Each structure stands twice: as C-alpha cells, then as structure tokens.
Amino acid sequence: MTGLPLEAVFRLAWPDLSDEDAIACRNEYRALYEETVIPATRLFDGARETLHAIHAAGILQATVTGKRAADCERILRGLAIEDDIELYLGGDSVAPDRHKPAPDLALLAMDRLAVPPARTAVVGDTLIDMRMGRAAGAHTIQVLWGYERSAVAEADETVATWDALRARILNG
C-alpha cells in the first residue's frame, strides 16, 4: 500500500467506500498526519551524514514520495536537511493516475535536475520504489531498513547500512 494515493489505500480496506467517504477519510488522515506524524518524524541514524556527504560531493539529490509535496517540504525542513536535497516532489506533482510505481515522479525529477536515466540511481525501501525506478530506466538500490527489510527482485542491488549506501553512491 505504500506509495498509493490515500483514497486507493482506503478503498483496499473498504472496497464499497463512496467517493465522498474516501475524501472524508483522506481529509481526516491528513489532519492527523499534520498534527502528529510530521512533528514526530525522525531521521535514521546515519541519514544526515550520508545526505550531506552526497551533496558535498556535488551529486544532485531529489526526494520523490507519495506524500503531498508540501508535507514532504515540511518534513525536510523540520529535519533540517532541505539544503542537502535539490528537489522534492510529492504524489501531487504528477497526474493522480500516474503515482508510483509509474515512472512519472522519477522522470520528472530527472528532467528538473537535467540528469539522464543512465546517470540516475533510485534509492528506496519498497518494492514500489524499485518498480518506479526500473520503469524510469534508472539503476535501483534498495535499502534494507525502513519499510521492506528483505531484498526484492526488482532491485538492481541492495545495501544494508548507511555507510554502504554512501560508499556506493560516492564511489559509483
């Protein structure tokens, strides 16, 4: 379910949910998310150092998420890492029917950063992330912390630590 629009998630749980009720559920979820989840969001140990090292090396970084772009921006600012990430896109940055695993978010990030797929790595913690990256023609790197902790076949490679991810990105 990770990466799907909220209405789609609610419809998986309640297939007979009306459009009006799906929107009401989405609005209530977003209010609770704003009030409780965003303030409680924390970085994994090692994340800040990795993002900073990649940025310092001149490698462009984007965050693409199923969350709304405004929520993503608030989270990154709250975590004080927005200066290390050149671009952040949310599920609302593309057409509603083109969310992950469609390649649109990754392709939009590549376009805005002027980086071709052959020089792009999509790093993520879900099968949906790996499918999006593959569909966009990028190299995919699955991190084995976060949502999915077992390797998925769609990942070109996996890393188990922030140190390994940092080394992989910085050393090509």
Where exactly are the structural domains of the chain?
6-40, 47-171
Structure confidence at residue 172 (pLDDT)? 79
CA-wise closest residue to 93 among 116, 60, 63, 68: 68
Structure confidence at residue 3 (pLDDT)? 62
% of the chain with per-residue pLDDT over 70: 98
Dist CA 117 CA 22 (whole Å): 36
What value does the mean pLDDT take over residues 114-118?
A: 98
* pLDDT category of residue 2 using cuts at 50, 70 and 90: low
What's the token pair of residue 40? 């409680």
Structure confidence at residue 167 (pLDDT)? 96
Residue 4 has pLDDT above 80, yes or no: no
For the segment 85-103, what is each residue's pLDDT rounded down to a tens digit? Answer: 999 999 999 998 898 999 9
Does the pTM surpass 0.75? The reply is yes
47-171 CATH fold: Rossmann fold (3.40.50)
What's the token pair of residue 129? 């992330």
